[in-house]
């Protein structure tokens, strides 16, 4: 493990650290210099989470604003976040599957996917973005999906998931505009990780020509995030650094 002893109180925060991509982000970041701590955040601490004071885990209900306020307070006591990654998301669960036609859309599926894919990241931004430093470069980014692009949608289908990710993209754009007023060096971005071998995409990954491991996917995304400038804030980027149309 590599941590920078000169990193001061700089934190890398991974929200959704119990998921496939979230855990991979933690593993990749613990090998990067520049972080005093890599903080995992999720509903519950995984049983196999490392017992390491520089890898703390904070449990919180990410849809509960009181819990998020308490989370922000706990993070502020650990240090100053230089990077906040929101690695949450949902495509399917029992009773919720991607729709092949509009006839399959239900109020329940729309509500659930908007709750997890748009509302949750927005509330996390609301409570954690104010912790970013005012006069230093920092990043807050959320995992989106290319299928959330309205301009790139040529196949239709997956209506609830597509629209929930499109809503997330708009919220990220709005957050970036607001963030720039008080934190001009901050970068806020939506990220398309590609098709990754995780439980989220497993039932559908066979249809993809390219499926990456979580480790490869997060290494590419972190390389991208290190290259972004404040002028890129509010953008939607894929794992190769290309801009994805809204």
For the ranges 11-25, 191-205, 225-239, which has the lowest average pLDDT?
A: 191-205
**Residue 139: left if φ>0, alpha if ψ -120 to 50, beta else—which one?**
beta
What mean pLDDT do residues 81-102 have?
94
Q: Does the global pTM surpass 0.85?
A: yes
- The angle formed by the CA atoms of residues 145, 150 and 152, to the nearest 5 degrees, is 75
Q: Which residue has the higher pLDDT, 200 or 98?
A: 98
pLDDT score of 210 more than 80: no
Look at residue 78 and tell me whether its pLDDT is greater than 80.
yes
Q: Please tell me the distance from the alpha carbon of residue 143 to that of residue 221, in angstroms, as a whole number.
A: 10
Residue with tokens 């593993």: 27
Look over the chain and give the mean of its residue pLDDT values, rounded to a whole number.
92
- Cα–Cα distance, 114 to 163 (Å, whole number): 8
Confidence of residue 206 (pLDDT cuts 50, 70, 90): low
Number of CB atoms found within 10 A of residue 155's CB? 8
pLDDT at 1: 42
Domains and CATH numbers, the chain: 10-237 (3.40.50.720)
Specify the DSSP class assigned to residue 55. Answer: S
Whether 103 shows a pLDDT value over 70: the answer reads yes
Select the more confidently predicted residue: 169 or 211: 169
pLDDT in tens, 136-165: 999 999 999 999 999 999 899 999 999 999
Instruction: List, in sequence order, every residue forming a beta bridge with 77; answer none if it has no partner.
Output: none
Percent of the chain with pLDDT over 70: 92
Exposure of 102 by Cβ count < 10 A (0-12 exposed, 13-18 middle, 19+ buried)? exposed
Q: Summarize the confidence of residues 223-230 as an average pLDDT.
A: 96
Predicted confidence (pLDDT) per residue in 39-66, tens digit = 999 999 999 999 999 999 999 999 999 9
Q: Is the pLDDT of residue 202 over 80?
A: no
């Amino acid at each position: 493990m590599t941590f920078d002893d000169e990193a001061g109180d700089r934190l890398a925060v991974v929200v959704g650290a119990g998921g496939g991509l979230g855990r991979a982000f933690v593993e990749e970041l613990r090998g990067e210099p520049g972080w005093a701590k890599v903080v995992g955040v999720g509903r519950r601490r995984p049983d196999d989470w490392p017992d390491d004071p520089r890898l703390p885990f904070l449990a919180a209900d990410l849809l509960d604003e009181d819990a998020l306020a308490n989370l922000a307070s706990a993070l502020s006591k650990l240090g100053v976040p230089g990077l906040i990654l929101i690695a949450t998301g949902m495509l399917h669960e029992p009773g919720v599957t991607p729709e092949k036609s509009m006839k399959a859309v239900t109020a329940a599926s729309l509500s659930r996917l908007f709750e997890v894919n748009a509302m949750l990241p927005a509330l996390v931004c609301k409570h954690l973005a104010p912790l970013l430093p005012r006069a230093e470069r920092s990043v807050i980014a959320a995992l989106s999906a290319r299928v959330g692009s309205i301009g790139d949608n040529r196949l239709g289908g997956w209506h609830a998931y597509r629209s929930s990710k499109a809503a997330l993209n708009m919220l990220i754009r709005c957050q970036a505009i607001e963030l720039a007023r008080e934190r001009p060096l901050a970068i806020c971005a939506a990220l398309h990780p590609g098709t990754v071998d995780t439980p989220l995409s497993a039932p559908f990954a066979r249809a993809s020509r390219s499926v990456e491991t979580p480790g490869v996917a997060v290494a590419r995304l972190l390389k991208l995030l290190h290259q972004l400038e404040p002028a890129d804030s509010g953008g939607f980027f894929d794992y190769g650094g290309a801009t994805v149309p809204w």
